[in-house]
């Protein structure tokens, strides 16, 4: 499957102007469960996870080649690129969040909370103040498929913030079943967090002192469960689901869908104008150029 016809489903007239390439391209296939795409603008390449195969893969825009970026990879799941161009990764197998330095070494940003080992960090974002926010469900310790079977020392699945000043890990939300994808609004005043098991997306206000307030359900999934989440420049919220990408207006209305042939785990906006969608869907990496742009964040 090299490509297939793009199918945008319009559910609200406001979505009708959202469009893109006539064809969705399949850049690569052959993974077991692809996740965590992270775009590196300077190098024009994408890093993504093949979790059960315990490897990170790298797609090069200039050549179209896909190769192994890192293996073993700690059963890494979600990633982000920080404002200094470094890869920040959630390693389910090693139960930690790490940063890859320019010399290739790893710095552990978080592996414990109050002396207790994390479960299996899943997805991560960076705030402009340098803090790292991540979710910590149990997927990596539930079985040996995408991590190492083990017991939760914390006894719950929570959301955390790593303070940039002293590296302390703070719990910011403790009422999730299985927290997963997360994304800030463009001005960083709102944090959207998926609860996969509850099949919904929640909306939190971010306070000046790095806390979360509110947490009302913003959207509920009507096709399996939500996973990764991103925002575009218009403030629309895009979420990965079993039938593709769902797009919501900031008021919570489901505007439409981009249908894909495989269950979508995660995605990101990339390219020089942030208008290329890179989509990790089960065993395949898909892409298309769209007429919307990913949100631009302070300091990026």
Q: Does residue 72 have a cis bond before it (omega within 30 degrees)?
A: yes
Residues serving a catalytic function are: 227
Distance in angstroms (rounded) separating the CA atoms of residues 24 and 7? 9
Tell me the CA distances in angstroms from 138 to 91, 111, 210, 252, 263, one per residue in order: 12, 14, 24, 28, 20
> Cβ distance 97 to 87 under 8 Å?
no
Distance in angstroms (rounded) separating the CA atoms of residues 263 and 255? 20
Q: What is the DSSP string of 164-194?
A: TTT--EEEEE---SSEEEEEE-TTSSEEEEE
180 in a labelled binding site? yes
Q: How many CB atoms lie within 10 A of CB 262?
A: 19
Distance in angstroms (rounded) separating the CA atoms of residues 4 and 8? 13
Q: Which two tokens stand for residue 88?
A: 């920040």
Distance in angstroms (rounded) separating the CA atoms of residues 90 and 136? 9
The overall longest dimension of the chain from CA atoms, in Å, is: 52
227 in a labelled binding site? yes
> Cβ distance 153 to 145 under 8 Å?
no
Tell me the CA distances in angstroms from 110 to 59, 99, 122, 132, one per residue in order: 28, 10, 12, 9
> Cβ distance 261 to 241 under 8 Å?
no
- Write out the binding residues: 35, 122, 180, 227
- Write out the binding residues for substrate: 122
- Write out the binding residues for a divalent metal cation: 35, 180, 227
């Amino acid at each position: 499957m090299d490509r297939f016809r793009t199918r945008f489903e319009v559910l609200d007239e406001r979505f009708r102007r959202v469009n893109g390439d006539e064809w969705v391209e399949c850049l690569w296939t052959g993974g077991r469960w692809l996740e965590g795409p992270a775009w590196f603008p300077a190098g024009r390449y994408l890093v993504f996870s093949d979790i059960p195969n315990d490897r990170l893969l790298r797609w090069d825009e200039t050549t179209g080649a896909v190769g192994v970026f890192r293996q073993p990879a700690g059963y890494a799941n979600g990633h982000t690129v920080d404002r200094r161009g470094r890869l920040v990764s959630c390693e389910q197998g090693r139960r930690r969040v790490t940063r890859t330095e320019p010399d290739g070494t790893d710095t552990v940003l978080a592996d414990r909370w109050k002396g207790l080992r994390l479960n299996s960090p899943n997805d991560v974002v960076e705030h402009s103040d340098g803090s790292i926010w991540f979710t910590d469900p149990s997927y990596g310790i539930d079985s040996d498929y995408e991590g190492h079977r083990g017991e939760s020392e914390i006894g719950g699945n929570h959301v955390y913030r790593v303070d940039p000043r002293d590296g302390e890990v703070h719990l910011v939300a403790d009422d999730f079943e299985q927290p997963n994808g997360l994304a800030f609004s463009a001005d960083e005043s709102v944090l959207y967090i998926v609860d996969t098991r509850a099949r919904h997306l929640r909306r939190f206000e971010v306070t000046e002192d790095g806390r979360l307030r509110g947490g009302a359900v913003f959207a509920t999934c009507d096709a399996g469960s939500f996973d990764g989440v991103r925002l575009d420049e218009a403030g629309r919220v895009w979420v990965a689901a079993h039938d593709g990408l769902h797009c919501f207006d900031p008021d919570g209305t489901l505007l439409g869908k981009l249908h894909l042939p495989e269950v979508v785990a995660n995605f990101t906006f990339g390219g020089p104008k942030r208008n290329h969608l890179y989509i990790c869907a089960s065993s395949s990496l898909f892409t298309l150029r769209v007429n919307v742009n990913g949100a631009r964040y302070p300091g990026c």
